[in-house]
Structure 1
Amino acid sequence: MKNKNNLNVNSVEVVSIDFDPNIIEVENKSKRTIQKEKYENDLLNIEIKRNEKEQKIIITRSWFKRLWMNLMLSCFLKVSIKKVKINHFFYLRHVKRVKNKTLKMSGDVWYKRIWTNVSGYTFLFIMLIVMLFPFYWMIITSFKDYSEIDSGVKETLWPKHWTLTAYKDMFTYLDSNNQTKSIPFYRFFTNSLFIALMSTGFSLIVSVIAGFAIYNWRTKFNYVFMIIMFSIMMVPGEALILGRYWIAVKMQWKNNLLALVVPFIGNVFTIYLMSNAFYGLNRDLKRAAKIDGLSSFQYFVKIALPAVSATILTSFIISFIESWNSVLWPITIMDQDSNWRTIPMMLYALMNLTGDVNPEIFKAQDPINVKMAASIMAILPMIIVFIVFNKWIINGLTKRDVGGSSKG
């Protein structure tokens, strides 16, 4: 009997089963989990391609080619993200529904969100009106006739008769030959443009070199130097005018072009901005450059400068606007009959203008419309510069060009 049982046991055929854990794992995954993974993978692929394209842009030497590649990168990102949203429409709709349901359960109902949005946008709208109203008033006043700006006439928010008389009289007064202290308007403009470009160019050279020196040659005195820089930034510029004036007079720069250019070369803020941009570079870039046999100067020219191009452009714009808008220093160091007078000096002279100066041109005791017209002509170039380069200014102040840790 015992042998018979053993025979039956031995006669049982053992069948081996191949076990694949991946199949069980896929089966256990829900439909939403799979959709989420596909969505995240698509976003990851876009990010990888974006990084590859940005690296190619950094190492490209041609400025025009970099501009074209940046444009293509923007188009690629917009098209790719739009395509991902279309392909994963149902998953994103599900995520939105879950989010709304969660907000509702937490007490964040729709009418509370509406009240928050309405109150927030109302506050922003009021602040927008407060900030834009002076510009609006300046514009409409410049188009008013002399009969609408007399002292006994009630001010209106809209001109009764639109006219360019104020602009015409402003140019006539500045271009008139009988004004011995006057120079043409285009001369004011070219003076401001030339001085701003000169001072900004030299300031940018000094700022870039100084910022790279602070980043590259690190010593125990760097911390002390940064404290000194911040301390200088805390001092208002008006407090330094007396010292600047004394130095300029001793160097015989009064009524000289150098007096309007040299004081703006050492801009502490742009030096700090450039040093911070260089500190944002990945230290591995410098190590790789040394391995490839590049010197510090070659690394500075071929790698560091292209990497911080956005910050360089931002520093240029900030320095240019600061030099263009400078009024206190020019009227201090320049006489009213100087040939190097700038547009802010022209505004300063016109602000004290009355109808008694030239009654043949100005038909009002206080030609406020002429003053507003001159103000618009003065700020118009800076408004255009800000509108065109607004994106680059924000990126240069908030975004580092090449990510990664600067330690190492």
Structure 2
Amino acid sequence: MSNKLRVGILFGGKSAEHEVSLQSAKNVIDALDQDKYEVVLIGIDKQGSWLLNDTSQFLLNSQNPQLIKLNQSNDSVTLVPQGGGALTHLTTNQADTALDVVFPILHGPYGEDGTVQGLLKLAGVPFVGSGILGAAVGMDKEMMKRLLRDADLPVGPFLVFRAHQVNPNFADVAGKLGLPLFVKPANLGSSVGVNKVTNEEEFRHAVADAFQYDRKILVEAFIEGREIECSVLGNDDPIASVPGEVIATHEFYSYEAKYIDENGAALEIPAKVSAETARAVQDLAVKVFTTLGCEGLARVDFFLCPDGELVVNEVNTMPGFTSISMYPRLWEESGIPYAELIDRLIRLAIERFEREQRLKTTYQG
């Protein structure tokens, strides 16, 4: 009988960040210790189907981020409430051996926004990363910024518009936020649908583009500053990595700069900041993490302004795990290698699950 932990890797997803998830999954799978873990690959296609994949051929064009694709499988599976982590094959109604833990390497809606997290809780299986609340507020940039602002943590000026409202007026928005400004979907990451705006024509295009991906968009003031990022790890007592800096060679840190253009950005790890600033970044990163109810992992992104002020840009509750992603590289610099990082994340998932299982579900007055 095997003593290996059976780890389900959920990847792909019904999201504009589908391809990023494929890249992340490949790196996590390559890093998993095959002596410790039995890996079960569950690829989610863009229609939302869960497909059991073979580890030897689950991706097509895996070396090309522009052409990478999920290799479609005919074996559809699902997790069911109270199933204890057992995968059910939809064609045969047969159940597999239960998964011990799930690593949902999913970015964006239907994967990083609390949706999958709720299903996994109902299925009764431990999972890596934030729970429903932390994932949901971390994904929704409006809710995230409102919660941080209410906790007296520094966020930049922003406006919110919804698809059913009158289209935002450029003159009014520019009058409140100044120029340039940024337009982005409220519930997406990886800079998908994000545009920098300097005039009315660009603004109209940016609003239309952002509304393709979400029914709610944010318009944010431009903040002059260095882009500093910090990784956080833990449940009740989270720790922060050394800070890193993103130095974009594009106009801003766009999707192309992150995942397509190998020279799209330079990552300065650790960031060249004073020891005092580094501590301030780490302290603020942990405060953001706990304020939003995050668990397991998150990457917190800041602007370091010329006067030394830190402004929170956003939090990512399932940051990229590609070969060039900041989250694992910051921990590598902080003394936690990639494989050990994955081990810790899995342990944190199981620890949280076991802690929650001890809670009472019956009231005895």
TM-score band w.r.t. shorter chain: under 0.3
* Larger strand proportion of the pair: 2
* Larger helix proportion of the pair: 1
TM-score (norm 2): 0.21
Larger of the two Rg values belongs to structure: 1
TM-score (norm 1): 0.19
